[in-house]
Structure 1
Amino acid sequence: MGCRRTHDVRRIWLRGAAGFRDGCLSGRLGELLLRVLLFSGGIDSSALAYWLRPDVCLTVDYGHRPASGEVAAAASICSELGLRHEVIFVDLRHLGSGSLAGTPVSGLARAEEWWPYRNQMLITLAGMRFLSEGLREIVIGAVSTDVHSDGRSPFLRGISRLMSLQEGQVAVLAPARRLSPERLLDVSEFPADLLGLTFSCHTMEFPCGTCRGCIKHAELSNYMRRGAR
């Protein structure tokens, strides 16, 4: 993997009006023109982390069932890549729906894992956390196969415009929006030996093997094995 930079980790808990409370903290903080990647530890966002090498990878535990699996995967990948990793904890479990929340699927959902306004929430939290550090770009791992409205071009253009109208003029970028997951793996040259660190389950902290996330993970794993990269 070559030379690794120091792996910076910061954990932050959100407790209503109490604001931020720092947990363990290591490494440097504060860079101008910061680029932050919303990082779930899944294959798409891991490929983006490898490809773009953002200043910070941000994982948000918002009370969804697979959160601890996502945090562990994201931390492992950032450690391998030498990227700064932060985790925000905010309990929104009572506002969710579908397989991520363990509740009935909404009639508005295009797929069982739909969570209302999820990407809008993640982008907002990233902006709130990093604006004081010089945040300029938030990168989201949307790909061409996304079925939810908040992974499609109209939403992504709209939320970027909304963020740019506020203090800091932050842009929201989706560099893989027109790429299939397979094409993203090819373009990013994501190494096959990191695939085992990624995590995509929608229902629990370990792969269930049957949800849409796990099925996608298995299909992409097979794709990479066939390519023998």
Structure 2
Amino acid sequence: MSQKVVVIYSGGMDSYTVLNKAIRQGFEVYALSFDYGQRHVKELKVAASVCAELGISHKVVDISAINQLIGGSSLTDDIDVPEGHYEEESMKSTVVPNRNMILLSLAVGYAVSLKANKVFYGAHSGDHAIYPDCRPEFVKKMDDVCRIANYEEVEIVSPYLNNTKIEILTDGLSMGLDYSKTWTCYNGREKACGKCGACQERLEAFELNKAHDPLAYESN
């Protein structure tokens, strides 16, 4: 019997690559997505579609009530999403306070209930400067805590922690993944805006991999 693992799956290209990597490594994957009130809720529909196609377990959990306590992010509040390249100062407005600690804590609880001993998530080096909860020191300390928080030890796994989005895409393309089945844009419109930092970083990753981005953009 294969080992059960939980994958925090947003529907974006990083977590899509992590999800497929875990499947290819032979794990029995339980995908977990969160509705935290993000304006780009379209990513959850993309995630559900992918999991249905792959035939894997998928839960979408509504935790939007947390916005009564945390706010100030352009991803959840009525604040314009910044445009332009992924620069630290402009992109700080997209930080959702304590998001990954909350998501990881819930995912670990789910893992314990499943008798799974690993939780995967898609932190990577391109996010280190902007998102404190994607830094190696955060992942290390969360891993330490999650190994002792329950009777059962749960490991936090971030396979691309020291890789750039460019390198993540390189790996995904080598696996033959179809990135039309992902959503990256921070704006939740019909097409990707092509202007926000997330879109800019994605487009750059495809360009540097000399690959075509299959998503439709408003500027196309």
TM over 0.5: yes
Match of 1:98 in 2: 73
Match of 1:22 in 2: none
Q: Please point out which of 23, 41, 50 is paired with 1:77.
A: 50
Q: Please point out which of 155, 168, 176 is paired with 1:184.
A: 168
Match of 1:166 in 2: 149
Cα drift, residue 195 of structure 1: 1.2
TM-score normalised over the length of structure 2: 0.78
Match of 2:14 in 1: 44
Is contact 1:65–1:205 with CA below 8 Å preserved after alignment? Answer: no
TM-score normalised over the length of structure 1: 0.75
Cα drift, residue 66 of structure 1: 1.4
Is contact 2:165–2:202 with CA below 8 Å preserved after alignment? Answer: no
Is contact 1:201–1:213 with CA below 8 Å preserved after alignment? Answer: yes
Question: How do 1:109-148 and structure 2 match up within 5 A?
Answer: 111-146=92-127, 147-148=130-131
Match of 1:4 in 2: none
Say yes or no: does 1:60 pair with 2:34.
yes
Aligned length: 194
- Compared CA separation, residues 63 and 156, structure 1 to 2 (3 A): same
SS in 1 for 2:93: coil
Structure 1: stretches of 5+ with no match in the other structure: 1-30
Say yes or no: does 1:150 pair with 2:123.
no
- Compared CA separation, residues 228 and 113, structure 1 to 2 (3 A): closer
Cα drift, residue 218 of structure 1: 2.4
- The alignment yields a C-alpha RMSD, in angstroms, of 2.6
Structure 2: stretches of 5+ with no match in the other structure: 81-88, 214-220
Structure 1 moving runs of 4+ over 4 Å = none
Deviation string, structure 1 residues 35-88 (Cα, Å, up to 9, x no partner): 111111111111111222151111111122212x11111122223333322111
Is contact 1:32–1:135 with CA below 8 Å preserved after alignment? Answer: no
SS in 1 for 2:133: helix
Percent same amino acid at aligned positions?
A: 25
Distance, in Å, in 1 between the alignment partners of 2:51 and 2:108 is 20
Is contact 1:99–1:203 with CA below 8 Å preserved after alignment? Answer: no
- Compared CA separation, residues 32 and 82, structure 1 to 2 (3 A): closer
Letter in 2 for 1:171: E
Is contact 2:169–2:206 with CA below 8 Å preserved after alignment? Answer: no
Instruction: Decide which moves more: 80-89 or 41-50.
Output: 80-89
